[in-house]
Amino acid sequence: MEESQEVAPQEDASTSRGTDNPLPRVVLRPNTYSLLDGEWKFSLDQEDRGLREGWYLGHKYQHTANWPGSVEEHMAATTGDQAPPAWQDKVIAWYEREFTRPEKLESGGKRIYQITFGACGYETRVWLNGRLLTDVEGGDVHYGEYNSFSFEINEDHLLPVNWLTVRISHSKDAEVPRGKQESHVYKRGGIWYQTYAGAVRSVWLETVERNRLRSRVGVQSLIEDSLVRFSFTTRIQDPGQYLLKLNIYERGADDDATPLATSDYPLRLEAGQKQQYVVIEVPNAKLWSPEDPHLYKFEAQLFDNSGYASEIEGHFGLRKIEARGRHIYLNNKEIYIDGILYQPGTATYEEMRRHMYSMKELGCNLVRVHIAGIDPRIYNLADEIGLLLWVEVPSPHSSTRRSRVNHRRELLRMLALIETNPSVIIWSLYNEDWGAQDIATNPETRQYIMDIFHFMKIRYPQFLVVDNDGWQHISHEGKLKSDMLTAHLYTPKLAKWKKLLDKLTAGEMEGVAVLPLVIGDQYFYRGQTPLIVSEWGGFGFSDYGGPESSEERTERIKAFKLELRKRKIAGDVYTQATNIEEEKNGLIDFHTGELSVPAGLLSTRDYVEKPKKAPKKKKS
């Protein structure tokens, strides 16, 4: 594919087996692509004149900006400031770059071009040569800032030199999913952070087939029957008879390897998009776990009646997660969650990679990715190195019907793109009732959360689901609408820590966390649900107290972890992995990934009392 000088150097066209994934995506497509990262023209539009004045038809941009990068970084660069400037209500930015027309597509019109944004937003419009593009989902405007979206390109609309124009609008609207970025409700400071909006992930031009499998794949496994359930999404321009062929390999197998399993599925497909559920048996399959993160590769091809095929590939692991009584079971074996809270903030992909390896080195078997969108390659990395993941929907900051609509859309976007990863075992719908502040008083809020919980349990049985992490879990008719009873407990004092843990394990619903643990109908805890202390520690952050020196912090963590393991608790999540803005409580250097405490500190394998061996009988 030819490129203009501004385009990043040409990447290898194929994404063959065993190569690193160069783009922010989970499922791969062996095609040609050109990264459009690098220098773009850039202008702010705080008076919102660009649409009226038709900037997409031609505009003299005042600055340049490096894509990917946040609009805050680009604003700072235009003023020469060291720190990103704060914007009070709304920011509108325009970006534009040129690229040369790629080589003409062959294959008799069976392929088209597609422009994909790894993430951009919150509100994004895109023009090609002055023509407004409609995304694959059918919208002229893309809403959301955490997940990828694409535009199909008609080859006839490409010129010898093309210009791509992007308008990004973001606000501090509290009804928009934003995680811990500041809003009109929660102002920056303490645990609320600088916004990080705009062109935050790569953009690329690629070739795709007119009739194809989309890179949205769901995988479910029931380890008892060696069957793997796949859900594929087809996108068809030309209705007709197709054949879906699915091959399963060991991950890392040679190109000429024989599949471990293969199956064909004839399909009659109409124009548009359709999800198709298929099942394949993988005999004598090995299971995935943190101790042995065994992965398989799938290769799916969609053949038309002429034998022309589109192809996608990815990996999966067979695992089963279950909340049963007081305990959590992975592959029918009881596990204890040694977790850590992770807030990636403005970390680059390479920094996040270092963080993940360092959290593993700390002895963690789980990382709780705290209400943030991350580069999807990090999910793949967790699969490879054996780290369980607890992911959360970036929350809005107010509880309204509109915020709930936005919340549900964000959840579905996330699910569509990371449903193949065996490392993802837990989802939180809300955290500490942010975006659901009226959960205790508004039946409509509770009903929405219960409906989403039930939807998740039916549609995505491979996950555990938490309704509102930390406190104020919902009870309906005495049944908890959460797979786990979680509590956020912060105290630097060991004596108080012991009392809180005793209250929690005794089933007391009040006087444990900041707010009652359960709201709604009466809930009587008798050991029927796993207890997770899903936030604790935070030592060094002024709001939580505790030791600041590494040596003192190490000893305090050991003492607190020991008390956790003395009680009938199924897991814990220490706060937190790295420092972020005013929260100076990290155990890992944000840039280098170096630990400030001993390796293995958060593993509780050494905290559990080992059964004493019976004394040997003396020989008579």
The verdict on 197 and 134 lying in the same domain is yes
DSSP annotation of 157: G
- Whether residue 607 is contained in a domain is answered as no
- Whether residue 7 is contained in a domain is answered as no
- pLDDT of 547 strictly over 90: no
- pLDDT of 27 strictly over 70: yes
Residues 112 and 102: their CA atoms lie apart, in Å, by: 11
Instruction: Check which CATH number belongs to the domain holding 247 and give it.
Output: 2.60.40.10
- Whether residue 167 is contained in a domain is answered as yes
> What is the DSSP secondary-structure string of 164-214?
EEEEEEEE--TTS--TTB--SSS-SBTTBB----EE-S-EEEEEEESSEE-
The verdict on 246 and 205 lying in the same domain is no
The verdict on 220 and 204 lying in the same domain is no
Residue that finishes a domain, picked among 209, 234, 249:
209
The verdict on 449 and 521 lying in the same domain is yes
Instruction: Check which CATH number belongs to the domain holding 85 and give it.
Output: 2.60.120.260
Residues 152 and 136: their CA atoms lie apart, in Å, by: 7
CB contact burial 144-174 (16+ within 10 A = b; e otherwise)? bbbbbbbbbbeeeebeeebbbbbbbbbbbbb
- Whether residue 394 is contained in a domain is answered as yes
Q: Whose CA is closest to 496, among 508, 512, 480, 482?
A: 512
Residue that finishes a domain, picked among 267, 285, 316:
316
40 lies in which domain range?
Answer: 33-209
Identify whether the C-beta of residue 564 lies closer than 8 Å to the C-beta of residue 501: yes
pLDDT of residue 373: 87
Give pTM, 2 decimals: 0.92
The verdict on 271 and 356 lying in the same domain is no
pLDDT of residue 369: 97
The verdict on 338 and 472 lying in the same domain is yes
| Maximal C-alpha separation, the chain | 102
The verdict on 362 and 271 lying in the same domain is no
Mean pLDDT of the residues in the chain: 91
- Whether residue 9 is contained in a domain is answered as no
- Whether residue 439 is contained in a domain is answered as yes
Residues 94 and 164: their CA atoms lie apart, in Å, by: 11
Phi and psi at residue 432, in whole multiples of 5°?
Answer: 50, 35
- pLDDT of 7 strictly over 50: no
The verdict on 251 and 302 lying in the same domain is yes
Residues 521 and 526: their CA atoms lie apart, in Å, by: 16
pLDDT digits (tens, 9 = 90+) for 136-179: 999 999 999 999 999 999 888 899 999 999 999 999 999 999 99
User: How many structural domains comprise the chain?
Assistant: 3
Residue that finishes a domain, picked among 209, 238, 264:
209
Identify whether the C-beta of residue 557 lies closer than 8 Å to the C-beta of residue 497: no
- Whether residue 24 is contained in a domain is answered as no
Q: Whose CA is closest to 58, among 92, 93, 94, 91?
A: 94
Instruction: Check which CATH number belongs to the domain holding 465 and give it.
Output: 3.20.20.80
The verdict on 219 and 237 lying in the same domain is yes
pLDDT of residue 12: 35
- pLDDT of 3 strictly over 50: no
pLDDT of residue 615: 60
- Whether residue 5 is contained in a domain is answered as no
Residues 312 and 217: their CA atoms lie apart, in Å, by: 10
- pLDDT of 15 strictly over 50: no
DSSP annotation of 92: E
Across residues 346-359, what is the average pLDDT?
95
The verdict on 222 and 146 lying in the same domain is no
Is the CA virtual torsion 361, 362, 363, 367 positive or negative?
A: negative
* Four-point Cα dihedral 451, 399, 180, 597, nearest 10: -60
> What is the DSSP secondary-structure string of 10-56?
PPPS---TT----SS-SSB--S-EEE--EEEEEEE-TT--HHHHTGG
User: Residue 11 — very low, low, confident or very high, per pLDDT cuts 50/70/90?
Assistant: very low
The verdict on 310 and 325 lying in the same domain is no
The verdict on 158 and 243 lying in the same domain is no
Across residues 20-26, what is the average pLDDT?
85
